[in-house]
A and B are shown apart, each in its own frame.
Chain A
Amino acid sequence: MFYGAAQVSKDIDLVLFPDSTNYKNLETALQSLGAKRIAVPPFSPAVLERGHAVHFRCSAPGVEHLRVDVMSKLRDLPDFAALWDRRTVIADEAGEEFHLLSIPDLVAAKKTQRMKDWPIIELLVAIHYRENADRPRPPWIDFWLADARTPELLEKLVQRFPDQARKLSSGRPLLSMAGSGNFEAVREALDAEVRAEQAKDRAYWAPLKAELEAFRHDERRNP
């Protein structure tokens, strides 16, 4: 929402540094929202460290039914300290601060098996390029070339930054064809990237889903 690629997910995702003080502080904050855990897994630092997300539903006035998902580890992303260093901070008129995953980290986090995440990635990169195209920094150029998801934007990027595109093409082969004007071939390659990333996400979640099933089994036996 802040970054412009609005997705009506009706929930809030929090990434938590899983130390005991922070964990207690979050528990207190969740209590003030009347938040109850609504599904497995249980809420504990150890569970978060394993890569699970813990789900809550709020009941306090004004936030009834709001979902809050808490996690501390995201697939293929660095640890919390690195994410925190790279975060975006946005302040409102009263000085209230919102600490957000950086756009490149958010894009990486959204490379999931869920189809609805991929159009958001496309928009996030397009918006980031539009807002920063006049003053490109090397890491941003790499980010655009690595994550742009439309043939039109890829063509523009490859023509504008040919050296960086050549350098990155071994990691992203479709960059070699992005300047050819063959949009259909680029689209097919983009689709193949999505399928490959979805397969990686499914493989990542397979053992965690087995753990979730075990948690469910435990909770049904010991409610």
Chain B
Amino acid sequence: MLYEDMPDEWKEWLDLTPIQRFRESEKLFAQYLAMGGSLDPDPDPTSPFYDEDEWRPGAAYGRAGLRVLRRGAS
């Protein structure tokens, strides 16, 4: 994809400096955690590190992540 073809939101993100991106990511993460989001990585069966027993959601390390409460019409 060329920059010119990217959605405006992506362009705005890319126009930030690296440190500005880092700061914005910190804000997003704080918000994500405040909403109950979990830092548990999503299971990725295509990863060589994936082990079903160790990464099962809701197991020893797990806690509730975000869940969909409402989906938009589109």
Q: Contact residues of A with B, CB < 8 Å?
A: 1-4, 6, 9-11, 38-39, 53, 55, 57, 64-67, 69, 90-93, 98, 112-116, 122-123, 126-127, 130, 150, 152-153, 156, 201-202, 205, 208-209, 212, 216
Check if B14 sits within 8 Å of A65, measured CB to CB: no
Contact with A along B23-52 (1 / 0, CB 8 A): 001000000000000111110101111010
| 19 residue pairs from A and B, CB less than 8 Å apart | A1-B25, A2-B22, A53-B49, A55-B49, A65-B39, A65-B63, A69-B49, A90-B18, A92-B19, A92-B22, A115-B46, A116-B46, A127-B3, A130-B2, A150-B1, A150-B2, A152-B2, A156-B2, A208-B48
What size tier do the contact residues of chain B reach? Answer: 20 to 34
A22 to B42, CA, bound (A): 30
Q: Contact residues of B with A, CB < 8 Å?
A: 1-3, 5, 13-14, 16, 18-19, 21-22, 25, 38-42, 44, 46-49, 51, 54, 61, 63
Q: Which residues of A contact B22 (CB under 8 A)?
A: 1-2, 90, 92, 98
Check if B39 sits within 8 Å of A66, measured CB to CB: yes
